[in-house]
Amino acid sequence: MRSDNNSGISPEILQAIIDENNGDAEAYGRDDLTARSEAVLQSAFECEDLKAFNLISGTAANSLIIATLSPTFGAVFCHQDSHVNGDECGANEFQSGGAKLVPLKGRDGKITGSELEEAIDWFTIGEPHHSQPSMLSIAQSTEAGTVYSPDEIHDLSTVLKKHNLKLHMDGARFANAVAKIGCSPAEMTWKAGVDALSFGSTKNGTLGAEAAIFFNGCDDGSFIYRRMRSGHLLSKMRFVSAQIIAYLENDLWLKNATHANLMAEKLYQGVKNSDHIKFSFPVQSNVMFAEIEDQLREKLSTSGFQFYSKKNGDISTSRLVTAFNTSPELMDEFIEIVRALNNKPL
Amino acid sequence: MRSDNNSGISPEILQAIIDENNGDAEAYGRDDLTARSEAVLQSAFECEDLKAFNLISGTAANSLIIATLSPTFGAVFCHQDSHVNGDECGANEFQSGGAKLVPLKGRDGKITGSELEEAIDWFTIGEPHHSQPSMLSIAQSTEAGTVYSPDEIHDLSTVLKKHNLKLHMDGARFANAVAKIGCSPAEMTWKAGVDALSFGSTKNGTLGAEAAIFFNGCDDGSFIYRRMRSGHLLSKMRFVSAQIIAYLENDLWLKNATHANLMAEKLYQGVKNSDHIKFSFPVQSNVMFAEIEDQLREKLSTSGFQFYSKKNGDISTSRLVTAFNTSPELMDEFIEIVRALNNKPL
Amino acid sequence: MRSDNNSGISPEILQAIIDENNGDAEAYGRDDLTARSEAVLQSAFECEDLKAFNLISGTAANSLIIATLSPTFGAVFCHQDSHVNGDECGANEFQSGGAKLVPLKGRDGKITGSELEEAIDWFTIGEPHHSQPSMLSIAQSTEAGTVYSPDEIHDLSTVLKKHNLKLHMDGARFANAVAKIGCSPAEMTWKAGVDALSFGSTKNGTLGAEAAIFFNGCDDGSFIYRRMRSGHLLSKMRFVSAQIIAYLENDLWLKNATHANLMAEKLYQGVKNSDHIKFSFPVQSNVMFAEIEDQLREKLSTSGFQFYSKKNGDISTSRLVTAFNTSPELMDEFIEIVRALNNKPL
Amino acid sequence: MRSDNNSGISPEILQAIIDENNGDAEAYGRDDLTARSEAVLQSAFECEDLKAFNLISGTAANSLIIATLSPTFGAVFCHQDSHVNGDECGANEFQSGGAKLVPLKGRDGKITGSELEEAIDWFTIGEPHHSQPSMLSIAQSTEAGTVYSPDEIHDLSTVLKKHNLKLHMDGARFANAVAKIGCSPAEMTWKAGVDALSFGSTKNGTLGAEAAIFFNGCDDGSFIYRRMRSGHLLSKMRFVSAQIIAYLENDLWLKNATHANLMAEKLYQGVKNSDHIKFSFPVQSNVMFAEIEDQLREKLSTSGFQFYSKKNGDISTSRLVTAFNTSPELMDEFIEIVRALNNKPL
């Protein structure tokens, strides 16, 4: 429950690694498998003009994409609670050579078109004292566990296009969002105006495999050099590529994400009426935030449930995360503990 | 009224430049005058362990000090409306190699100790996902034209010391703050816990002269290299040093600032009861913000008064700035226009 | 023969990954296995005060170590043909925030103490116009395939210590050097004055596992943040740690490296008397450079031997690399082709 | 003799500053005078499509131009003894976000087309391991005091154009080169293939005024932001602009440079036959390098002549620099000392 990063490797993914270990191949992504992983992504996203660069870290994908899309003097809009703003130790400021991240508020971890418009309007285009608005980075699903609808994304991209800005999607949990909405990957991204996507898979069952994806010519040709000089060009790339192929094959990615989402939904339905736990945001993917009363939190902890908690004044908020390998039995156990407490007066 | 940067050079300063042009001297700050300018600052600040590095731009002073005091992965707290956050085109992210500026709200352009404490608490020390809190940068006087009292500064430094963080003061309009409070430069800075000061003079009558000042050993020895590699080591430094000496001599700096403050106060007292102009913040230095009704703003403009205005929704806020060379007659003229309008119903 | 990066995964390493995939564990290196991998390295290097940070790319290890050891305004000495200078797309300039790489000549890919001394002497300490000498980075084995003796390393560190500079060793092929010399890892590194080591294993049989190692307190505490903000903190770190443990266990690393070295030696002995191939440097590890006559190069190519070649004027130099999985039969085949040609006049 | 940076301000320049101090004007280069300084440069360079950005430091001009013309992963060729390589404390690596400076040898401080071609050929275009060649930066006059002919510059630009690379000229002593060659500024720059010029004046009589000049559309629009975020947008810009106008007016720049060149020539002719002084390079501008015997150097020093000397093994090389205000009498005095010694056996 602590993090979907704690889960191991999906059996199908591990098998793909084993299968690939049958001889030599060109290093640094010049192998056939890496070319095939790009083709597989082009097909999954119904986009021929798609460029994919395999990586092994989501922060690498985010920060290298942002560095590619924003000039060094750019203003990059993002949600104040987003991973790119708060949980990457300044990676995006660093990789971009000093771009300014502009944190926006927004309900349920999401930004609306009008909030974005207002933020952009603060800046004066052409005024050298101002960082120049360059792009928006949203997470899908968000750091709050909520999910943008394609329409909401389209609203944002409409504002952005008006100002000639780019749209990046941090898809560390992209599969969970697609599984939730039930639309196609294309509808969730480039058809809604997304220019580049951090396509994550590590939190959803791979050992370590992420792809920085550019749609429709948004890479200016600099990415291969940015990847290398930041130390992210892997020599034995083919083993990352093998994971990406296996991840998309037979819809493993959606299968895993759907399961994780279901486990979250199961837990939520099981405890939502409790007085001792109060959910902070709509539950829409595999990540939930909740205020859990101290007594209950201790009981859960005693029973082996671990999760991040953050105190803000008197209120402590906990993050609950399910994964591809979370069992229904574990959810039942959690629910049982909550219900047991609920029957007793505090 | 548009900016104190628009004013020319105080006659005393210009004379000092002329006087210094009487022969050769060592370049790059190895001359006698530059050594003397540091001694003059040590004396003015009653601080023997003071290091001063002459520069010609306030943004250079701010960003080089921040780069010196914060690690590249640091979180630098500042007011959201501050110059370092909004008006330096990302200079501080750039010079520091990617430090994160964390914008705080705060009434009247100022930050309180409890607001700072709350902001620091968000970050987990030792957690690599988080930028690590390193320092606070405040402006004195602030971008809103308000002034911190030494006690307010001390409150902030108390919080900072508890967390082992540094305190930088952007003193682009330091003289105006000192003139307002009437305390000593030492009481306003190191005695209140300030570690480094951007000592500005350009807005208050010099051609271009700023000093990055470190109190009590806060420079780690890197500043001279940072200044050079950012292109800020001037060859004919002595002409900057001459300005700083002349600026402090005979209290020219306080004389100029006191005059500018008085002109602001005069204007404020003259129009504060008007229905057509509403001041946004307490008037405490030479910078004022006010909502000026459209009709009045046009009348002022027609009469030659120019100033920055920013629309935020329906409300337009204008910035009014006085300088060392603003005449009382000009203020009377402004007041007259406001009063004339006030007698007539809108 | 093209690169040891082309080889797959040693069976022992793959098994270790499979074995570790048996449940959840804390992400981001907070797991037990990662702690154990550090302990294993401490033991292998006979150094309790050793800090190890696991990574998956050698360029990441090099550039992050250099960024840690050198100030942003530092001068980093290195061999002009070294990987850090010529083959990392400016990674070291980038990660360090702009440090200057100073390329030195030196016979056989190695730098001598007197060459280093002369290079350091060019710079004036304390002169802000000059980048300030901060460190030397050597490769062991070198980009030329040669190997420093511990005494040669000690000579370099003696010069460095006199000037208070640090010594980094790029050990992408560290195992091959240790296998060649037959000394202990400690004798090759900290006992000879090395402050930090990029401990590579990927070229010698792992999927992807490198460790940035600091000896005797040389990490200033900043590495964990530098790793994160450059996108190099892996979520499922334990699978990297498992590789490092398996790599050191039962001396797999030396076994693999010894084999690769032997294959190189076998090839060299088999063809060194040929008129058609002329070795550029002493053959001391698993990397060889040779001028191969066009006719021979074509014959080898036709038979499936591939390798990098670089034309410099009329002379074309080829790089031959053996690996842990290079077979003696393949070497025999190569030798046979050379010998067959040798009997015929060109 | 130590440096032309030690000289003060030409009377004409100082007068221009005084004259401009007659009222307020828009800050940050939005004033009329700044627009006029650009027009004056357009006229002087016979180039309507010329963009000029005023600055106050040559290192700022060099590093900001290089950052504009080279991608962050670029390879920037330069002479190994050039100011951009050796005397700017890594400014160019820093401003460019980590571009690699590639130092080339070359006789008399100059690079030839074939040397450049060979250096470019080392790099593989499109290979992510390699920094990608982006530009050449030459100095005119060079750090050795020599001067490129327009034909030599054209040779270099021919090579560059073939590879689609840019040409920057560091013109810290541009006037001395133009005065020496006698060609037009246009012939020396864009007509010979120069894309951008650091147009220096500080060493030749201004207080502090440099212009970053882009010919024929070579600025991509980013310069105004780069200048600001590096702290180089001056608030009272008009006083820099006034200097540039006065510098070009009535050919003051050529008058000053011609004088400095003549003084150097006078000194050279007066002492060239001495056994005690040996010139390192052809004397072509106002900078000379010479091996001066210890005894002579001491005599000169006793008489008040100061200059930089650098020991390289047993040989000490001294730099002699004349300026716009160097008197013929001073040269005579120097010559006299050399000749006096020459008559006596050592």
Contact A97 D226 (CB under 8 A): no
* Residue B6: predicted pLDDT: 86
3-state secondary structure of D147: coil
Residues of D in contact with C90 (CB under 8 A): 72-75, 98-100, 131
Q: Where are the beta strands (DSSP E) in B84-165?
A: 100-104, 132-139
- Alpha helices, DSSP H, located in chain D: 11-20, 32-44, 58-69, 83-86, 91-95, 113-122, 150-162, 174-181, 185-188, 223-229, 238-248, 252-271, 294-302, 328-342
The token pair that represents A263 in the structure block = 């486990």
Assess contact for D52 and D38: CB atoms under 8 A. yes
**Beta bridge pairs of residue C299:** none
The answer as to whether D4 is a domain residue is no
The token pair that represents A237 in the structure block = 């790339």
Consecutive H or E run containing B316: strand B315-321
In the numeric block, the tokens 């002169």 are attached to C127
Percent of chain A predicted with pLDDT > 90: 92
The answer as to whether D3 is a domain residue is no
Question: Cα dist. D330→C251, D98, D266, D292, D339 in Å?
Answer: 75, 45, 11, 18, 14
The answer as to whether D6 is a domain residue is no
- Closest-CA residue in chain A for B86? A130
- Under 8 Å CB-to-CB from D215, ≥6 apart: which residues? D45, D47, D49, D50, D189, D190, D194, D195, D196, D197
Residues of D in contact with C89 (CB under 8 A): 73, 128-132
- Triad D166, D168, D169: Cα angle to 5°: 150
A226: closest CA of chain D, how far (Å): 7
pLDDT in tens, chain C (346 residues): 778 888 899 999 999 999 999 888 999 999 999 999 999 999 999 999 999 999 999 999 999 999 999 999 999 999 999 999 999 999 999 999 999 999 999 999 999 999 999 999 999 999 999 999 999 999 999 999 999 999 999 999 999 999 999 999 999 999 999 999 999 999 999 999 999 999 999 999 999 999 999 998 999 999 999 999 999 999 999 999 999 999 999 999 999 999 999 999 999 999 999 999 999 999 999 999 999 999 999 999 999 998 899 887 788 899 999 999 999 999 999 999 999 986 655 4
Q: Does A97 touch chain B (CB under 8 A)?
A: yes
Residues of C in contact with B233 (CB under 8 A): 128-129
3-state secondary structure of A91: helix
Q: What CATH number did the domain enclosing B275 receive?
A: 3.90.1150.10
- At D240, the pLDDT band (50, 70, 90 cuts) reads very high
Same domain flag for A25 and A131 = yes
Question: In this structure, what is the dihedral angle of CA atoms A139, A140, A144, A148, given to the nearest 10 degrees?
Answer: 110
3-state secondary structure of B135: strand
* Residue A346: predicted pLDDT: 46
Same domain flag for A210 and A324 = no
Closest-CA residue to D101 (of C69, A226, A71, C76): C76
- Under 8 Å CB-to-CB from B293, ≥6 apart: which residues? B276, B277, B346
- Under 8 Å CB-to-CB from D122, ≥6 apart: which residues? none
Consecutive H or E run containing C50: strand C50-55
3-state secondary structure of D345: coil
Q: Does D101 touch chain C (CB under 8 A)?
A: yes
Q: What number is the average pLDDT over the span D184-205?
A: 98
Same domain flag for D130 and D264 = no
- D93-128 in b/e form (b: 16+ CB < 10 A) is bbbbbbbbbbbbebeebbbeeebbeebbeebeeeeb
Residues of D in contact with B9 (CB under 8 A): 21, 236, 239
B141: preceding bond cis by omega (within 30 degrees)? yes
The answer as to whether C6 is a domain residue is no
DSSP3 helix / strand / coil % (chain B, rounded to 5): 45, 20, 40
pTM for this one? 0.97
Assess contact for C200 and C58: CB atoms under 8 A. yes
Q: Give this complex's ipTM.
A: 0.96
- Under 8 Å CB-to-CB from C341, ≥6 apart: which residues? C274, C276, C295, C296, C299
Assess contact for A134 and A70: CB atoms under 8 A. yes
* Residue D329: predicted pLDDT: 96
Average pLDDT, chain D: 96
Q: Give the whole-angstrom CA distance, residue D334 versus residue D329.
A: 9
Percent of chain D predicted with pLDDT > 90: 92
- Triad C332, C338, C342: Cα angle to 5°: 135
B216: left (phi over 0), alpha (psi -120 to 50) or beta: left
Q: Give the whole-angstrom CA distance, residue D78 versus residue D63.
A: 13
Residue ranges making up the domain that contains B101: 12-251
Q: How many domains does chain C have?
A: 2
Same domain flag for D160 and D149 = yes
Say whether pLDDT at A179 is over 70: yes
Residues of A in contact with C25 (CB under 8 A): 6, 8
* Residue B197: predicted pLDDT: 98
Consecutive H or E run containing A12: helix A11-20
Same domain flag for B237 and B337 = no
- Under 8 Å CB-to-CB from C304, ≥6 apart: which residues? none
In this structure, which long-range contacts are made by residues B296-304, counting pairs with CB atoms below 8 Å and at least 24 apart in sequence? B296/B337, B296/B338, B296/B341, B299/B337, B299/B341, B300/B334, B300/B337, B303/B333, B303/B337
Q: What number is the average pLDDT over the span D196-200?
A: 98
- Closest-CA residue in chain A for D99? A229
DSSP3 helix / strand / coil % (chain A, rounded to 5): 45, 20, 40
Q: Give the whole-angstrom CA distance, residue A41 versus residue A51.
A: 9
Question: Phi, psi (5° rounding) for residue C197?
Answer: -130, 130
Q: Chain A interface, mutation test: which of B57, B89, B122, B310, most A Cβ atoms within 10 Å? A: B89
The answer as to whether B163 is a domain residue is yes
Q: What number is the average pLDDT over the span D178-201?
A: 98
The answer as to whether C42 is a domain residue is yes
- Cα–chain-centroid distance for residue A6? 16
* DSSP state at residue D78: E
Q: Give the whole-angstrom CA distance, residue A57 versus residue A227.
A: 12
Same domain flag for D262 and D242 = no
Same domain flag for D166 and D56 = yes
Contact A57 C234 (CB under 8 A): yes
Same domain flag for A336 and A277 = yes
Closest-CA residue to A202 (of A149, A251, A257, A249): A257
In the numeric block, the tokens 């850090």 are attached to C84
In the numeric block, the tokens 């190569």 are attached to C334
**Partner chains of A (3+ C-beta pairs under 8 Å):** B, C, D
- Under 8 Å CB-to-CB from C184, ≥6 apart: which residues? C46, C178
Return the amino acid letter for B143.
E
User: Which of 126-165 (A) contact C at CB < 8 A?
Assistant: none
Q: Which of C18, C203, C231 sits opposite A60 (nearest CB)?
A: C231
* Residue D346: predicted pLDDT: 46
Q: Give the whole-angstrom CA distance, residue B262 versus residue D25.
A: 22
Same domain flag for A264 and A238 = no
Q: What CATH number did the domain enclosing C72 receive?
A: 3.40.640.10
A282-293 per-position pLDDT tens digit: 999 999 999 999
* Residue C344: predicted pLDDT: 59
Say whether pLDDT at A17 is over 50: yes
Q: Which of A89, A100, A132 sits opposite B93 (nearest CB)?
A: A100
Closest-CA residue to C94 (of A198, A67, B222, B223): A67
- Triad A312, A315, A319: Cα angle to 5°: 85
Same domain flag for A182 and A295 = no
**Beta bridge pairs of residue C52:** C213
C31: left (phi over 0), alpha (psi -120 to 50) or beta: beta
Consecutive H or E run containing B271: helix B252-271
C141: preceding bond cis by omega (within 30 degrees)? yes
Say whether pLDDT at A194 is over 50: yes
D312: closest CA of chain C, how far (Å): 8
Assess contact for C102 and C111: CB atoms under 8 A. no
Same domain flag for B163 and B77 = yes
Q: End of a domain among B220, B251, B282?
A: B251
Q: End of a domain among A218, A251, A284?
A: A251
Closest-CA residue to A227 (of A34, A52, A17, A73): A52
Q: What is the mean pLDDT of each run of 10 residues along chain B (346 residues)?
A: 86 97 92 97 98 98 98 98 98 98 97 97 97 98 98 98 98 98 98 98 97 95 98 97 97 98 98 95 97 93 91 87 96 95 62
Same domain flag for D236 and D283 = no
Q: Give the whole-angstrom CA distance, residue C333 versus residue A80.
A: 62
C-beta atoms surrounding A117 within 10 Å: 15
* Residue D344: predicted pLDDT: 59
Q: How large is the greatest C-alpha to C-alpha distance in chain D, in angstroms?
A: 66
- Alpha helices, DSSP H, located in C106-230: 113-122, 150-162, 174-181, 185-188, 223-229
3-state secondary structure of B276: coil
The answer as to whether B336 is a domain residue is yes
Q: End of a domain among D226, D251, D276?
A: D251
The answer as to whether A2 is a domain residue is no
